Structure 1
């Protein structure tokens, strides 16, 4: 069910906008090596990680996947790993994500590849989407209702009720 943004989730949009605005432009005509999208992800402890896409004629990682990688490097877990366990005995995980386009084009929905990565690696994550003039978050089951699921289960169990929050 779509939900309004929390105050912490609201900080992701300006974080992603500031990253894409800071990336140097290689060509005013948007060469294939340009960066046109940024992402910001929020962890369960309130940390924010960012990434930009790496467009290339052979493909390249999306901004969301680069942000996920940056979070992983900082010890944040996924469905396959608890990550670094904190003092409270729980591993930090990603709880919200947003992607924005360069040149003030605003929030965009994740592409199909990113949706599948989120479904597999962070099935509990909330995704910020634009609904008319409003920003909302949706869960993975709303974003990818008939997702392809792997036959084997992740090492870190996630309650299905958590995914549907």
Structure 2
């Protein structure tokens, strides 16, 4: 686990801003925001979409970036907005998704020692990899 840099703190701010703009208090359809930064410095964000087949905010943010032609992932963070800002650790599906699309990506997570960043490979030990 590593300490955060100024750029990672700005990434948290981007994720916080997108969920503040889109938080759905009435139906709780949009409760998590994510932001992902690429090696070129571009940042893309997204919010979770709740329905019968939920899509997590991390997947939406990465899909948004891929739609714009991005491929070199650097760091991702998810923020929950339920009366307080909280860094969320990615769920198992998101961890696998991030690993497949961005095996060198850092993920910002909340730990007992505070908010830190870790490589996705550290969060998914013994991960499944698609056969080549």
Which of structures 1 and 2 has the bigger CA Rg?
A: 1
RMSD: 1.4
Partner of 1:150: 130
Considering fraction of residues, name the structure with more helix: 2
Displacement of 1:7? 1.4
Partner of 1:136: 116
Runs of 4+ deviating beyond 4 Å? none
Displacement of 1:94? 1.2
Deviation string 1:8-44 (CA, Å, 9 cap, x unpaired) is 11111111111111115261xx45xx10100000110
In structure 1, stretches of 5+ residues that fail to align are: 78-92, 153-165
Partner of 2:33: 38
Note the 1:4-153 alignment, pairs <5 A: 4-23=3-22, 25=24, 27=26, 30-31=27-28, 34-56=29-51, 58-77=52-71, 93-103=72-82, 104-132=84-112, 134-152=114-132
Q: Please report the TM-score for the alignment, with normalisation by the length of structure 2.
A: 0.92
